[in-house]
Structure 1
Amino acid sequence: MVKLRVIFISLQLQLLTLVITPVGASAQSSEEMKKIFAQAESYFLYEEFELANQLYILLDSPDNMNIKYKIGTCYLNIPGEKEKSIPFLEDAVKTASYDSKTESFKETRAPLDSYFSLAKAYMINNELEKGLNTLQTFNKLARETTSKGGMKNLEFIDQQIQACKNAIQFKANPVVFSKKTLGSDFRQGSINDNPAVSYDGNTIAYTERRGIVNVIFFSKKERGKWQPPIEITAEINAGEDCSTCSLNSDGTELFLYKTDNYDGAIYSSNYVNGAWTPIRKLNKNINTKFYESHASINADGKKLYFTSNRDGGHGNLDIYVSEKEATGDWGPAVNLGAAINTPYNEDTPFITHNDSVLYFSSEGHSSMGGYDIFKSQKIGSVWKTPSNLGYPVNSTDDDKFFQPVNNGLNAYYSMTTDYKKKDIFYLSMGITEVSQLFEIKGKFSLSDTTLAFDENYAVHLLNRTSGDTLDVGYPNKITGLYNFIVTPGEFKLVYTGIGYLSQTIDTTILQDNATLSLNIDVSLKRDTAFKKVIPPPIVYDKINLSEIPTVAAIDTSILIRNMKVNDISDRNVLDSDILYYTVQVIALHNPVDVSYFKYITDMRVMYNDVDKFYRYTTGRFMTREEAYSLRLELIRKGYPEEIFIKKVSK
């Protein structure tokens, strides 16, 4: 979804004079009004609703229902002012017509969509019966247009009618939770949004919205208390259009969304030696010519869940997952499927620490209006039907960016507190007051091997009384460690693995338990009756680097200059100066075709003006051990042993 914004500087200067002159529409010439309308339409198109509304109000008149529709729609998209849309939209529907040319300056009739906007305004203002009646009227009128070519996406009207009915039901059965603020240091701005928290709970980053300008902050927790947030917008070179998305396990990698001229893309920044690096765009498996809006990484750093409206999805924005390859870069995207993705929009996915529950926002499923927050549990490789978190966590407006912690028992969430005011809260789900949390943890092992774990090995946490599955955890792929965060209760833990005998342990945790953690180590025994089919090993062809064809010019998008590349044994480079470790595949005086390098998706070319070498490198790692693992993987896939680990510094 590529959009190019056109800004008319001379027109804006003329309009500024008109805006600050206290004259109404009747006192302005037709040409002046056309210029105001044109600029308002430009702002409206690019969703800068506050700027657009200031101009539309200059054009407001009793008989122009199209302008009233525009004003109402702008108010509907301005936080804290949405209820102001109702009187304008109530007027607009009086002349609403299917064939209204709403983008024309001469048009005075409102479009038929006015009914939909009015229904949404009623729902947001909690006038649900009015919203339902208006949607039903809109549905009837929209279907009468079939003889004229018909309106599109009529099924979405049906979905919104059901959402309104859902809202009535959810509001009659509110869910219970408690909330507390993070302190006055986190309330310096009016709108504090998108709280991203590391899995270890010790780092937070968030976005302060100042009109159309976004400012990025981060804070560290020391001795259990958040320190005053520090602005890092300039440090990471974020510009004015970045928003926080997520943090990795230990808070050293931050993912962000950047508008990128309305194209939408995902970037990341690393925390190195006490400072954040400038943001860099993720590879083409994540970012496409389409629109990407959010990304979050799982606890072990091997999976990235993100949203995109690329071709081949189930609706508009869909949720995808990408796994980290041996090169250290992100692999091909896989759609999560119809269990998660609907014909509508999904956004802001987060996976819990134990990789078992996905929290995300959706306009589909059992939404009560706009985006609602849902959760879905993963059993093996199958996602269960998502459940709505309920009211008042969700509302009839758009509800996004629910950052779960403690495997979903708690969350960081930005909520409206006053007129044009949003604060970040720490939520405790299912309880009216913050009670003591306990940890069940341990080491999952196999009696006869130390192989790396995958999704075939799991720990199921059940309610011992009801038998309901409360959570499913997966042991760390390398260490076998697992954990659950629970409130007091009676539990059953079932440990399973393909080819091994399952094991069950019952345990009880009381409110006055002597310790806050319970350690349970389990070793599964081999099931001698199980027979595993072992596929034949993959044999890779040898790769002859001397056969790489040269090219006339290097692709500048992968070219890196002004960086020092040294041998791993070079002692003249201080450890504090090393930016990262990489694997050098080949060094040549002439540029070559990078498509020749099989199994490498993140090739970067380091050029040195002194020795005139093009160094073809892959992978960016914080430790030489990770780079060494990649080197061995490439050799296994056919590359010669004459590929080397290098350290890169400024």
Structure 2
Amino acid sequence: MMMKQLFPKILLIAFFLINGLIFAQQGVNSKIANEHFNDGNFNAALTEYLTLLKTTPEDPKINYRIGVCYLNTNIDKAKAISYLEKVLKLPEPNPNTYYLLGRAYHFAYRFNNAIEMLEEFKNLNKGDNANLLDVEKQIEYCYNAIEIMKFPLDVSFKNLGTTINSKYPDYYSFVPLDESFLIYNSKRDDGSNQLPDGSFNSEIYISHVKNGNYMNARKLDQNVNTLNGSEEIVGLSADGKHLLFYYDNEENVGDLFIAEYENEQVKNIVKLPEVINTKSQEIAASISKFGDVIYFASNIDGGYGGVDIYMSLLLPNGVWGPAQNLGPNVNTKFDEDFPNITADGKTLYFSSKGHTSMGGYDIFKVSWNPVKRNWGDVKNIGYPINTPEDNMNFRASETGRTGYISALRADGFGDLDIYSVTFNEVDPQYTVIKGYVSVADTTQRIKDVFISVIDLQTDELYGTYMTNPISGRYIIILPPGKFNILVEVPRFEMLTEDIEIFDKSSFRSVIKKDFILKPSN
């Protein structure tokens, strides 16, 4: 009888102990989540908040903070929508929820929903002052996006793969005109210091081309990279001989450096003078083909607002001249950044939060007018290169068919990845394959030579060709890719051979190849 009375009490005690442990664990998880959130480590905070949400799915603070975390990570900003929508159903939601949900709809390409939420936030006129100041611009972004997406570019994206990219941010890629190498930045866990927000110090990586493909990237030498600071490549001359670095480490805080690159070695690293490295913040730079003009981004006082783009000319005495603002055609009251001048010096690519951006930074281009001696009309380079996300630092190849960007895309490895972008309306570089089809016995004459070429990437017939009936000479013109050449002649053995046509610095304009036939048995 005593055991029957004790058993319910034991269960009751166990119940309270288990619940006490659960609540205690929730308290620990909540504290950890909040610490990560306050440190700006939104990835770690998100993991903790999602765990907490399983036991308290309607908690408004947790739902709100999950939404904020998604908007501040590169996982998928649109995932914030369901959590913020739940918060908005409360009788008196945090007014900033309207702004944040509008941003989330924007990232999800739901522009009309975004405009509705942002207008509601504007009409409420309550919330964080920074959001209230920004809301009109966010609405403008949505209207810009609707118009820009009506005229999409005919482009193809190619993720450069694990030889270049990682699950960490890989960004700001540069190539010389011949695309013989690719140099970029990465915030990967490679021995660099980890920061309070969970990210790692940036390091500079480089990959060289072999047979038309980028090889496994490696870190630049320790005379450039340090483990206790951040170093970034922010500019490259068209010939690949001059590098521009941004240093933020124990020795240099926010300074730009120039160096030479020769025989795969970085040499003569020199800090740029005070006319460029001012007491303000210099972020990115670009150098002309001949190394005599530097374009750089800075928030120097006296600009048009935020960060502007400036230029400095190398004077005849070898000294860099005073900084010159590129003027109101390029610079706005918002931020302009990441200048990239083309080899001919006629076109400047740059990123801007102003002009006709469809969200945050978009990539724009502007051409130099030699008659008026000023920069002309700025043009948004278009969707889908530009998106509601930040889009920065576009670098074009010599032919203009290929560009390089860092982007967040569905086929990525987890964060910003580096992509090549093919402009399909621009013809590729073609290789001419020419030679003779003949027989070892020169007294024999051959006729009815039939050559077919198969595209090995699609397994489809690319084209058929004939030889000159007198000379036996043939010509085939192919774009970069992998192909199979099949030579068929009656009473002779069939000949077949695979061939790969390379691009980038491995490109060859002409390949000579002869085929010698053997009589069939």
Bin the TM-score by the shorter chain.
0.5 to 0.7
Q: Distance in 2 between matches of 1:187 and 1:357?
A: 29
Q: Is the 8 A contact 1:237 1:278 kept in 2?
A: no
Aligned pairs for 1:226-265 within 5 A:
226-232=214-220, 234-239=222-227, 241-260=230-249, 264-265=254-255
Q: Partner residue of 1:134? A: 117
Q: 1:68 to 1:316 in 2, by over 3 A?
A: farther
1:428 to 2:422 alignment: yes
Q: Is the 8 A contact 2:170 2:184 kept in 1?
A: yes
Aligned pairs for 1:145-184 within 5 A:
151=129, 156-180=134-158, 182=160
Q: Partner residue of 1:214? A: 202
Aligned pairs for 1:174-573 within 5 A:
174-180=152-158, 182=160, 185-187=163-165, 191-210=169-188, 211-221=199-209, 225-232=213-220, 234-239=222-227, 241-260=230-249, 264-272=254-262, 274-277=264-267, 281-326=271-316, 328-380=318-370, 381-406=373-398, 408-415=400-407, 416=409, 417-418=411-412, 420-429=414-423, 431=425, 434-436=427-429
Q: Distance in 1 between matches of 2:130 and 2:418?
A: 38
Q: What are the superposed Cα offsets for residues 249-289 of structure 1, whole Å, 9 maximum, x if unpaired?
A: 33233223344589643334433564224865433222334
Q: Distance in 2 between matches of 1:57 and 1:23?
A: 21
Larger radius of gyration: 2
Shift of 1:354: 0.9
Q: Is the 8 A contact 2:238 2:342 kept in 1?
A: no
Q: Distance in 1 between matches of 2:29 and 2:215?
A: 51
Q: Is the 8 A contact 1:257 1:266 kept in 2?
A: yes
Q: Distance in 1 between matches of 2:403 and 2:394?
A: 7
Q: What are the superposed Cα offsets for residues 396-442 of structure 1, whole Å, 9 maximum, x if unpaired?
A: 111111112327553122332236155433333352x753489xxxx
Q: What are the superposed Cα offsets for residues 203-232 of structure 1, whole Å, 9 maximum, x if unpaired?
A: 320123324343322133456554443321
Q: Is the 8 A contact 1:353 1:405 kept in 2?
A: no
Q: Distance in 1 between matches of 2:244 and 2:83?
A: 40
Shift of 1:375: 0.9
Q: 1:273 to 1:351 in 2, by over 3 A?
A: closer
Q: What are the superposed Cα offsets for residues 191-210 of structure 1, whole Å, 9 maximum, x if unpaired?
A: 43221112453332012332
Q: Distance in 1 between matches of 2:167 and 2:304?
A: 38
Aligned residues between the structures? 398
Q: Is the 8 A contact 2:296 2:338 kept in 1?
A: yes
Shift of 1:322: 1.8
Q: Is the 8 A contact 1:215 1:233 kept in 2?
A: no
Q: Partner residue of 2:42? A: 49
Q: Distance in 1 between matches of 2:91 and 2:393?
A: 35
Residue in structure 2 matching 1:123, options 82, 92, 106: 106
Residue in structure 2 matching 1:88, options 83, 93, 116: 83
Q: 1:238 to 1:287 in 2, by over 3 A?
A: farther
Q: Comparing 77-86 with 124-133, which one deviates more in the overlay?
A: 77-86
Q: Is the 8 A contact 2:362 2:391 kept in 1?
A: yes
1:312 partner amino acid: G
Q: Partner residue of 2:478? A: none
Q: Distance in 2 between matches of 1:96 and 1:216?
A: 50
Q: Distance in 1 between matches of 2:302 and 2:63?
A: 38
Shift of 1:355: 0.9
Q: Partner residue of 1:27? A: 24
Q: Partner residue of 1:69? A: 64
Q: Distance in 1 between matches of 2:247 and 2:45?
A: 22
1:79 to 2:62 alignment: no
1:246 partner amino acid: G
Instruction: Compare relative contact order (CA 8 Å, sep 6+) and give the higher one, 1 or 2.
Output: 2
Q: What are the superposed Cα offsets for residues 533-585 of structure 1, whole Å, 9 maximum, x if unpaired?
A: xxxxxxxxxxxxxxxxxxxxxxxxxxxxxxxxxxxxxxxxxxxxxxxxxxxxx
1:276 partner amino acid: V
Q: 5+ residue gaps in structure 1?
A: 1-21, 98-108, 439-514, 517-650
Q: Is the 8 A contact 2:295 2:311 kept in 1?
A: yes
Q: Comparing 55-64 with 227-236, which one deviates more in the overlay?
A: 55-64
> What secondary structure sits across from 1:398 in the alignment?
coil
Shift of 1:121: 1.2
Q: Is the 8 A contact 1:235 1:277 kept in 2?
A: no
2:172 partner amino acid: N
Query: What TM-score does the superposition give when structure 2 sets the normalisation length?
Result: 0.66
Q: Is the 8 A contact 2:225 2:231 kept in 1?
A: no
Q: Comparing 412-421 with 87-96, which one deviates more in the overlay?
A: 87-96
1:343 partner amino acid: K
Q: Distance in 2 between matches of 1:177 and 1:370?
A: 22
Q: 5+ residue gaps in structure 2?
A: 1-18, 189-198, 432-507, 510-521
> What secondary structure sits across from 1:186 in the alignment?
coil
> What secondary structure sits across from 2:367 in the alignment?
strand
Shift of 1:79: 1.2
Q: Distance in 2 between matches of 1:336 and 1:41?
A: 39
Q: Distance in 1 between matches of 2:47 and 2:325?
A: 41
Q: 1:379 to 1:352 in 2, by over 3 A?
A: same
Q: What are the superposed Cα offsets for residues 500-540 of structure 1, whole Å, 9 maximum, x if unpaired?
A: xxxxxxxxxxxxxxx98xxxxxxxxxxxxxxxxxxxxxxxx
Q: 1:334 to 1:404 in 2, by over 3 A?
A: same
How many percent of aligned residue pairs carry the same amino acid?
Answer: 32
After superposition, the CA RMSD in angstroms is: 3.8
Query: What TM-score does the superposition give when structure 1 sets the normalisation length?
Result: 0.54
Shift of 1:153: 7.7
> What secondary structure sits across from 2:163 in the alignment?
helix
